[in-house]
Chain A
Amino acid sequence: MKRPVKIAYAALVYLFLYLPLVVMVIYSFNASRFSMRWKGFTLQWYDHLLHNATLLQAAAHSLYIAFLAATAASLVATITALAIYRWRFTGRKTIHAALFVMMMSPDIVIGISLLVLFMALALPLGFWTLLMAHVTLCVPFVAITVHSRLHGFDPHLIEAARDLGAGEAEVWRHVVIPMTMPAVLAGWFMSFTLSLDDVIISFFTTGPTFEVLPLRIYSMVRLGLKPEVNALCAVMILITAVAVVATQSLLKERK
């Protein structure tokens, strides 16, 4: 391909990816409520958001769940990744394969299988079931990120620490954990966004007592275009963009 053709093609794809988002953000500042015509700049839809109590509560729930799920998932996943990296035991390969399969599983399959599990355990759907579901969603992603980072290490570092007289605990504290930390942090941010983005798994695993933002948006969106929703979506895009930049810079540091 010729260079101008390449640039034009790439520009077209970016246009496709960003045009709907840009249009939505522009409309979130549009003074007209009912028509798509531009009637002047306004911040009133953002003001509406700030005064919508149900929406704010759903947003708070989402951030709370995302924070807890990301933290718990990072913990579980880091332990899992370290265990399968450091030790040889029965079931090790199965765990590794299962993590990969879980990562690839369609959300709807994860969602209904957890719904069936919670029903079988007679757990009422709400905060706890949602939290467990989001942790399950995030663990494979963090575990695989941390595991591949561990694989990139020079194993001699651990041997060197041992030769210098470090015990198992000291090797962990001074060598393994500091080296894994950037990957764990990146995994944490990844989980945070995964949890905020999820619609399908939340749909099946939470109850009316604990509504999260994507589900609230879902019920608003089904009723058609609304300027408040535009404003809300614009805020969500901004949060995602910040989290993505943070994750990328954390992952880049290793090079």
Chain B
Amino acid sequence: MKDSRVFKRLVIAAVLVWMVLFAFAPNLLVLMASLGRTGDTAFVVPGLSLDAYRRLLEPVYGQILLSSLYLAGGVTLICLVCGYPFAAILARTRPPWRGWLLLLVVIPFWTNSLVRTYAMIAILNANGIVNRLLTATGLISAPLPLMYTTGAVLAGLVYTLLPFMVLPLYAALERLDPRYVEAARDLGATPARTFVRIVLPLTMPGIVSGCMLVFLPAVGMFYVADVLGGARTMLLGNFIRDQFLTSRDWPFGAAASVALTLVMGLMLLLYWRSNVRLARKELA
């Protein structure tokens, strides 16, 4: 009995130490770095200044921040609008087929996103599939410059992140009891009204977690912007990377990272609220 208590204490202590070292300490250090100053010898001189955050709001940098959030928002919206009906179709497919169709979504989900971004080049290139199709059908006479544009980055991000939207939506839609929909229809609701009043609220946690899984990486995936956007499009991820590796302005980069963490916090709060609301409704 005494042995098992010692064992229990040791295991819990080990788990706590691990969590503190790799989960709490790194984030705390980033927060501290964001409040410090750059030094000549050290990367960061500790301090308590909000200077880095103030600079983040200056027009030049605020512009990067806003356009990155705007682009990620667009990617999220496109994934949601295209992914929702697709997930609904998957969720209503009969079992033997459904498993296979789902597997076909899971494979790109796990495939290296750099590999998938690279695959996009052959599609968007001047002599890539899209341009050749358009030239062959006579819609355009000269190839369109699709690569190295904001549009290419948008397409690349949608392509890489679509499975991250579909899978949580699928999980939510599969759990949805079809009897609720039938009941609403029997009571005379139009399909549109049934969707807005029944289906949408019941799948809200799936929508929020899908948006989170698309939006957060879309802000940070600097290599998509590098490979498809050239030097023109800048994501917050490129900005953070450059502050840490090129400009060596750690407090500035850390402040941008803290800002991104705050956005994540807000989205997590939204997710938690939608879950609580759903649980309350199910009890009622």
Contacts and interface: CB of A to CB of B under 8 A. Distances in A.
B118 A109 contact: no
Nearest to B105: A17
Interface of B is mostly: helix
Contact of B30 (A13, A19, A112, A197): A112
B189 interface: no
A221 B115 CA distance: 9
Interface in A19-56: 19-21, 23-24, 27, 35-36
A27 B25 CA distance: 46
Contacts of A168: 4
Interface string A223-250: 0110001000100110011011100100
B240 A108 contact: yes
Taking each of A14, A204, A221, which has the highest tally of chain B beta carbons within 10 Å of its own beta carbon?
A221
A23 B220 CA distance: 27
B25 A109 contact: no
Contacts of B216: 104-106
A91 interface: yes
A119 B116 CA distance: 32
Contact of A233 (B104, B115, B217): B115
Contacts, number: 201
Interface residues of B, number: 76
Contacts of B107: 240-241, 244
A194 to B, nearest CB: 8
Given A104-B268, A221-B227, A233-B119, A240 B257 contact: no
Contacts of A95: 15-16, 19
A56 to B, nearest CB: 17
A76 B23 contact: no
B122 A112 contact: no
Interface residues of A, number: 73
B110 A214 contact: no
B122 A20 contact: yes
Contact of B122 (A89, A197, A225): A225
Contact of A9 (B21, B89, B117): B89
A109 B264 contact: yes
A217 B114 contact: yes
Contact of A20 (B12, B86, B159): B159
Given A20-B116, A114-B26, A244 B110 contact: yes
Contacts of B43: 119
A237 B253 CA distance: 34
A102 interface: yes
A190 to B, nearest CB: 8
Interface string B94-118: 0000000101111110111111111
B8 interface: yes
Interface of A is mostly: helix
Given A106-B216, A108-B257, A196-B112, A17 B104 contact: yes
16 contacts: A9-B85, A24-B118, A24-B119, A83-B15, A105-B264, A109-B30, A112-B257, A114-B22, A115-B244, A116-B29, A200-B222, A218-B114, A222-B227, A233-B118, A236-B112, A237-B115
Interface of B: 4, 8, 11-12, 14-16, 18-19, 21-27, 29-30, 33, 43, 82, 85-86, 89-90, 101, 103-108, 110-123, 125, 127-129, 159, 162-163, 212-213, 216-217, 219-223, 226-227, 237, 240-241, 244, 250, 253-254, 257, 260-261, 264, 268
Given A95-B16, A112-B30, A225-B122, 16 more contacts: A1-B85, A6-B89, A10-B90, A19-B123, A20-B119, A36-B125, A76-B18, A87-B8, A105-B216, A108-B260, A115-B244, A117-B29, A199-B113, A222-B226, A233-B118, A240-B111
Interface of A: 1, 6, 9-10, 13-14, 16-21, 23-24, 27, 35-36, 76, 79-80, 83, 87, 89, 91, 95, 98, 101-102, 104-110, 112-117, 119-120, 132, 135-136, 139, 168-169, 193, 196-197, 199-200, 203-204, 214, 217-218, 221-222, 224-225, 229, 233, 236-237, 240-241, 243-245, 248
